[in-house]
Each structure stands twice: as C-alpha cells, then as structure tokens.
Structure 1
Amino acid sequence: MRFDVVTLFPEFVAACAGFGVVGRAQERGLLSVHGWNPRDYAEGNYRRVDDRPFGGGPGMVMMIEPLRAAIAAARGADPRPAHVVYLSPQGRPLTQARVRELAARPRLLLLCGRYEGVDERLLAAEVDEEISIGDYVLSGGELPAAVVIDAVARLREGVLNDAESAVQDSFEDDPALGPGRLLDCPHYTRPPQHPLGDVPAVLLGGNHAEIARWRRMQALGRTWQRRPELLDEAALPAEDRRLLEAYRAALSADAGDPEP
C-alpha cells in the first residue's frame, strides 16, 4: 500500500512513520510513505503557500495552486488511483469500520492543512472525503495523518506478526454483537506475582475455554463501565447477559456491596 502525504512538514510525517509497526512494514516492503511539500511547487522568491482570507478575519488560508500542483505530482508518482483525504475537524469521524474500508484501498493521498485551513475551492475540486480524528482542533493535519497511516497500516496483510492481534482489538467487529461493539479485555504478562498484584488465576490454568469465557466477560464488563453507549444490553445473547451479570456481581463483591 502507498501513502502520499501533502504537508508543509514532510520530515515530521516521515519521522512518525519510521517507528514501530509502520516502520517495520516499510522495511519489509509492505507499504511506503511519501511526503510532498507544497512549498516546493509555489512560485516567487518567498515560495508563499498562504494568503489572507477574503472577507477579513484572523489567520491565513492555504492557497490553491501550490496544493493543487503537489497533489498532481503525488497522483502522477504511481499509476494506481489515489483516494484523497483531507484531515479536518469538520470531517467524518474516524472509526475502526472506516479504517477497514480505507485499508482495502491500494493508495491513500492525505492532505494536511495548516493555518486557518485550505481554500474551499481546492477541497471541492481535489478531495474525495474529509476525516476527523476527534472533536478538537490541532495546529495542522500532520498528527491526524500519522494516526490514519498507523491505523490503516496495521490492518494490511502481513504488517502485524500475528493477524489475531488486530482481530482482538477494541472496536473490531464482534460476531455476536455486530460491528465494533466491545472494548478489549485486560492483558497481563510475566511475572505472575508482583507487588502491584497477581495475574488472574484463570489465565494461568491452561483451560482455553475458561480463558475465552473470562476474556469475554471482561470485555463486556469493561465496555459497560467505560463506554456504555456501545452496549445494547437488550440485544445481548443470553450467554453474554449471564457473563455481564457475573461481572457486575464480582464488582459488587469486591466493593463490599451486597449482591443484587
């Protein structure tokens, strides 16, 4: 898979993409990340990429031509069609379901804005969709672009050493509940005993059926506690309802409350 990023700070994006899962995937030739600086396509001695907004107001707006030329150069670097995404707080919220859809594409071209944003005419002419990573404002689109690259890359075949790692993540599709409904269960590693606490005994016993049941109960309980809006209890299968009730009973017992 190929990622092209139009940004005033290509070194920043390259640095983010050089570590961890994405960095290893690039080393193995499973994906590539390429930066395109619109300042390289700007005219004049000062290579201006922004100007004052019509109608007045604070800040500057990124101009059409440098961005349009950078996008054209990025498109022309590979014959495969590029899906162009503008990272913007006004965009469609990024969800795991949307990440899966993006991961099915051979190319993504990510446009990073700065200042007060990008001339709307450029967005209307060149951008396929706008994506937001949350209801807050950042200084530019580079961090959201890095988030998109990381989230999408790990779903590509061969990027993770164990494909089950992605399947078990929070917000991944749940066969019983539908798309992206449960948070992940807690995880533990060595040592089994520690001053901060012991690993739950069920994880040490080797009974895979009991381990799966415990993990399911923890995922249900954690979602109920932390993101209840994701959980429609009325739609839960009977076994999931029993597990959730067991989780609540254990929580009450730990807190010293009488069981319901």
Structure 2
Amino acid sequence: MKIDFLTLFPDMFTGVMESSIMKKAQEKNAFQYRTFDFRSFATNKHNKVDDYPYGGGAGMVLMPQPIFDCVDSIKEETTDNPRVILMCPQGETFTQKKAEELSEEDHLIFICGHYEGYDERIREHLVTDEISIGDFVLTGGELGAMVVTDSIVRLLPEVLGNKASAQEDSFSTGLLEHPHYTRPADYKGMQVPESLRSGNHQKIADWRKKESLKRTKERRPDLLENYPLSEKEKEWLSEE
C-alpha cells in the first residue's frame, strides 16, 4: 500500500511513522508513505495557500489551486486510482468497518488542512472520502490522518505477528473485546477467572464471548442493536 499525506507540517509524521508497528510494517514492505508540503505547489509570489473567505467571517480558508496541483502531480506518476481522503469535522465518523474497507486499497492520499476550512471545490471535485475521528476539532488534520493510518496499516497482511489479534479487536467482531489476564494467577488476592485456567478450549471461548457481550451491554449497548445474537447469546445476556 502507498499512503501520501498533503500537509503544511511534514515533520509531524516522522515520530509516528518511524516507530513501533508502523516502522515494522514498512520494514516488511507492507506499506510506504510520503509527505508533500503543498505550500511548494503555490503559484503566487509569497507561496500563500490560504485566503480570506468570500462573504467575510473569521479565519482563513485553504485555496484550491495548491491542493489540486499537488494531488494531480501524485496521480500523474501512478497508474492506480487512489482514494483521496479529506480529514474534516464534517466527514463521516471513522469506524473499524471503514478501516477494514480502506485496508483493501492500494493507494490512499490524505489531505490535512489547517485554518478555518477548505475551499468547497476541494470537497466537491477532488476528494472521494471525508473522514472525522470524532466530534471535536483539532488544529489540523495531521493527527487525525495518523490515527486513521495506524488503524488501517495494522490490518495489512503480515503486519501483526498474530493475524487473530486484529480479527478479535474491539469493533472488528461487532462487540467490545473481552477482558484479558496474564500471570500471576493470584495477585494480592485478585484471581484470574477459573474458566481461563481450566484448559478447556470451549469453556474459555464461551467465557470470552459472554464477557464480551456483557461489556458491550454495559458500555456500548448501541452496538447490540444490529448485532445478530444467537439464542445462546440471548440467554447469556438475560442472565445479567
């Protein structure tokens, strides 16, 4: 996978992209990334990329020309058809399902803006997706783009040491993940559940599913609205 970031602050990406799983993913050739300072595509005398909004109002708005020209230059050097993602508060809320969808793509381009917003022509004629990571506002789109990228890259083949790790994550199954325990079995009188120490695989699987359902009901009951519960799972929930 190729991932390109259009940003005014390319140095922001170095720490995240060159650490932990992201670094290992690149070493495994699972993905590669590049940053493009779209200020270098400005054609005006002072390399401005923003201007005052028509109609007045507070703040500055990103101009279309540098963004369009930067994306066009990327597309000219590739034969694929990249998804162009605009990070913005008005976009669809990012979910695990969206991460799984985007992980199937060969090439992604993220547009990370600053200031008051984007010229609407960028939104209408250039991007394929608009994404928000939540109902709050950040100074710029870089942090959001890195969050989205991390969730996508970890789903790529061979990135995680254990493929089941991603498959069993919260939201991947439609439920919140079950609790985890490790050694020691007894820590200051706090015991690991007997089911997990039983060695009985079916008993362990049932305990995990039951606890996953319980946690989802307590913390995110909205996720159960469209979850296809089996009769056994309905029975477990009724016990709570």
After TM superposition, the score normalised by the length of structure 2 is 0.94
Structure 2 counterpart SS, 1:85: strand
Between 66-75 and 190-199, the greater mean CA deviation after superposition: 190-199
Question: What does the per-residue CA deviation read over 1:27-76, in whole Å, with 9 as the maximum and x for residues that have no partner?
Answer: 22110111111111123453211111111111111111111222122223
Match of 1:167 in 2: 167
Give me the CA root mean square deviation. Answer: 1.8
The number of residue pairs the alignment matches comes to 240
How big is the shift at 1:153? 0.9
Structure 1 counterpart SS, 2:232: helix
How big is the shift at 1:127? 0.7
Structure 1 counterpart SS, 2:66: helix
Match of 1:155 in 2: 155
Query: Could you tell me whether the CA contact under 8 Å between 1:14 and 1:35 is conserved in 2?
Result: no
Question: What does the per-residue CA deviation read over 1:105-164, in whole Å, with 9 as the maximum and x for residues that have no partner?
Answer: 101111111101111112222111211111111111111101111111111111111110
- Unpaired runs of 5+ residues, structure 2, are none
Query: Could you tell me whether the CA contact under 8 Å between 1:87 and 1:132 is conserved in 2?
Result: yes
How big is the shift at 1:222? 0.2
Query: Could you tell me whether the CA contact under 8 Å between 1:233 and 1:241 is conserved in 2?
Result: no
How big is the shift at 1:235? 5.4
- Unpaired runs of 5+ residues, structure 1, are 174-179, 249-260
Letter in 1 for 2:211: Q
- Judged with a 3 Å threshold, the aligned counterparts in structure 2 of structure 1 residues 245 and 74 are, in CA distance, closer, same or farther, namely same
| Aligned counterparts of 2:227 and 2:18: Cα–Cα separation in 1 | 45
Match of 1:258 in 2: none
| Aligned counterparts of 2:192 and 2:66: Cα–Cα separation in 1 | 56
How big is the shift at 1:184? 0.5
Letter in 1 for 2:138: L
Greater relative contact order (Cα 8 A, min sep 6): structure 1 or 2? 2
Question: What does the per-residue CA deviation read over 1:78-114, in whole Å, with 9 as the maximum and x for residues that have no partner?
Answer: 3221110101111112111111111111011111111
Letter in 2 for 1:150: D
Identity %: 40
Match of 1:52 in 2: 52
Between 196-205 and 5-14, the greater mean CA deviation after superposition: 196-205
| Aligned counterparts of 1:85 and 1:153: Cα–Cα separation in 2 | 15
Residues 73-222 of structure 1 mapped to structure 2, 5 A cutoff? 73-173=73-173, 180=174, 182-195=175-188, 197-222=190-215
Query: Could you tell me whether the CA contact under 8 Å between 1:185 and 1:222 is conserved in 2?
Result: yes
- Judged with a 3 Å threshold, the aligned counterparts in structure 2 of structure 1 residues 35 and 206 are, in CA distance, closer, same or farther, namely same
